[in-house]
């Protein structure tokens, strides 16, 4: 049975799709494959070599920092999927466009939580069901049996890192800071990171700030540059290079975003800034379950002292030596 996992979303959701892939791959006679955005394609090799994988940015959606995908390239991708002859599709974060895409790709059974053009609409147990638990129901419907709990730890045998990043992140003790996200309403006020940066400085840690050029400018306008820090935009890190850096880090601290899920999947001790109402739905479930600093309506509710205390606690419990590697 050939099953296509459709996850035309960003980094965090693509990582979540790896849990579905792992569950399907474990079943005799099941051949899983994935359809992802071009934007998040480099997540898939972190789960291993030889994965059947189709990738194209949809023409109706814009990835962070990217333009919308092209219609004809998307159509060619659907034709390639049609030629591959899939029996079923499991459609994560379904909507009618994704469901219709699978219909046009000639996939006869389409399992989804919602949206027109699905042949099998599966209802989760409750509105605040975690996406992995909902995905488990989709897998159960497709297989006819419960696959068990879904998790998405990744332990790459290789990352594809550049010699430059390999040399940089194998030297010293690193922290990774992710002070931005795709939604500014999720972001802790920049001033609140001051104490965390000071903590890293006191512990003689180097800091990778995951930020684009405009975010770097904003970050430096608010926070003084006295810490030993570098920015991902200056290093031109792709996802696999970022994954290598995160895997070598003693700690990751950041807002609710794809990189937080990446840190959890890789097993790096991590602290996430999270809205309380979203914890049950999308909190990371990778190799390391993160420490969370929670807010009700606005991240400014979280005090700088709370973030500092939780980061200090993580570093005290999970002591790491320089040049350590979790996954290699």
> Which of 15-19, 222-226, 259-263 shows the lowest mean pLDDT across its residues?
222-226
Find out whether 241 and 221 touch, Cβ atoms under 8 Å: no
pLDDT band at 75 (very low <50, low <70, confident <90, very high): very high
Q: At what angle do helices 304-317 and 194-202 cross, to 10 degrees?
A: 30
Q: Of the candidates 114, 85, 98, 107, which has an alpha carbon nearest to the alpha carbon of residue 8? A: 98
Domain boundaries, the chain: 2-143, 163-317
Dist. CA 11–CA 266, nearest whole Å: 14
**pLDDT tens string 209-235:** 999 999 999 999 998 766 689 999 999
Find out whether 132 and 141 touch, Cβ atoms under 8 Å: no
The average confidence (pLDDT) of the chain is 92
pLDDT band at 318 (very low <50, low <70, confident <90, very high): confident
Alpha helices in the chain, H assignment, sequence order: 11-25, 71-84, 96-104, 131-143, 163-169, 194-202, 213-222, 232-235, 239-248, 258-266, 279-282, 304-317
| Better pLDDT: 107 or 326 | 107
Q: Quick check: 175 pLDDT over 80?
A: yes
Q: Which CATH number fits domain 2-143: 3.40.50.300, 3.40.50.620, 3.40.50.12780, 3.40.50.2000?
A: 3.40.50.2000
Q: Quick check: 87 pLDDT over 70?
A: yes
The token pair that represents 64 in the structure block: 């962070």
Dist. CA 304–CA 293, nearest whole Å: 10
pLDDT band at 64 (very low <50, low <70, confident <90, very high): confident
Q: Quick check: 65 pLDDT over 80?
A: no
Q: Quick check: 63 pLDDT over 90?
A: no
- Greatest pairwise CA separation for the chain in angstroms: 59
Give residues with Cβ within 8 angstroms of 271, minimum separation 6: 251, 252, 253, 254, 290, 291, 292, 293, 307, 310, 311, 314
Q: Quick check: 319 pLDDT over 70?
A: no
Q: Of the candidates 211, 225, 223, 229, which has an alpha carbon nearest to the alpha carbon of residue 172? A: 229
- If one looks up domain 163-317 in CATH, what number appears? 3.40.50.2000
Q: Quick check: 322 pLDDT over 70?
A: no
| Long-range contacts at 78-87 (CB < 8 A, ≥ 24 apart) | 78/104, 78/105, 79/105, 80/54, 81/4, 81/35, 81/54, 81/105, 81/106, 81/107, 82/106, 84/2, 84/33, 84/52, 85/2, 86/2, 86/3, 86/4, 86/33, 87/1, 87/2, 87/3
DSSP of 37-71, one letter per residue?
A: -STTGGGGGGG-SS--EEE---TT-B-TTSPBPPH
- The pLDDT, as a whole number, for residue 328 is 40
pLDDT band at 321 (very low <50, low <70, confident <90, very high): very low
What is the Cα 44 distance to its own chain's centre?
Answer: 11
Q: Do domains 2-143 and 163-317 have the same CATH topology?
A: yes
- The pLDDT, as a whole number, for residue 225 is 65
| Better pLDDT: 249 or 224 | 249
**pLDDT tens string 102-127:** 999 999 999 999 999 999 999 887 77
The token pair that represents 323 in the structure block: 């040049």
Dist. CA 26–CA 303, nearest whole Å: 44
């Amino acid at each position: 049975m050939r099953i296509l996992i459709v996850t035309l979303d960003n980094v965090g959701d693509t990582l979540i799709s790896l849990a579905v892939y792992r569950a399907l791959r474990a079943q005799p006679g099941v051949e899983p494959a994935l359809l992802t955005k071009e934007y998040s394609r480099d997540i898939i090799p972190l789960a291993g070599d030889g994965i059947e994988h189709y990738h194209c940015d949809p023409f109706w959606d814009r990835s962070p920092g990217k333009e919308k995908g092209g219609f004809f390239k998307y159509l060619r991708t659907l034709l390639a999927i049609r030629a591959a002859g899939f029996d079923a599709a499991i459609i994560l974060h379904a909507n009618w466009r994704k469901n219709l895409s699978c219909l046009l790709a000639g996939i006869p059974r389409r399992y989804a939580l919602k949206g027109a053009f699905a042949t099998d609409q599966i209802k989760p147990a409750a509105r605040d069901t975690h996406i992995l638990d909902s995905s488990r129901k989709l897998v159960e419907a497709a297989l006819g049996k419960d696959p068990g709990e879904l998790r998405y730890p990744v332990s790459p045998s290789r990352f594809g890192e550049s010699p430059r990043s390999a040399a940089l992140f194998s030297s010293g003790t690193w922290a990774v800071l992710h002070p931005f996200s795709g939604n500014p309403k999720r972001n802790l006020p920049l001033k609140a990171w001051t104490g965390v940066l000071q903590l890293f400085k006191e512990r003689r840690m180097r800091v990778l700030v995951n930020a684009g050029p405009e975010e770097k400018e904003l970050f430096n306008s608010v926070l003084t540059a006295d810490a030993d820090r570098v920015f991902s935009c200056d290093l031109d890190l792709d996802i696999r290079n970022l994954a290598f850096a995160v895997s070598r880090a003693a700690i990751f601290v950041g807002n609710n975003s794809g990189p937080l899920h990446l840190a959890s999947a890789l097993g790096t001790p991590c602290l996430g800034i999270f809205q309380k109402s979203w914890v049950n739905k999308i909190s990371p479930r990778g190799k390391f379950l993160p420490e969370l600093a929670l807010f009700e309506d606005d991240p400014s509710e979280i005090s700088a002292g709370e973030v500092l205390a939780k980061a200090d606690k993580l570093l005290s419990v999970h002591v790491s030596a320089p040049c350590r590697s979790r996954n290699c």
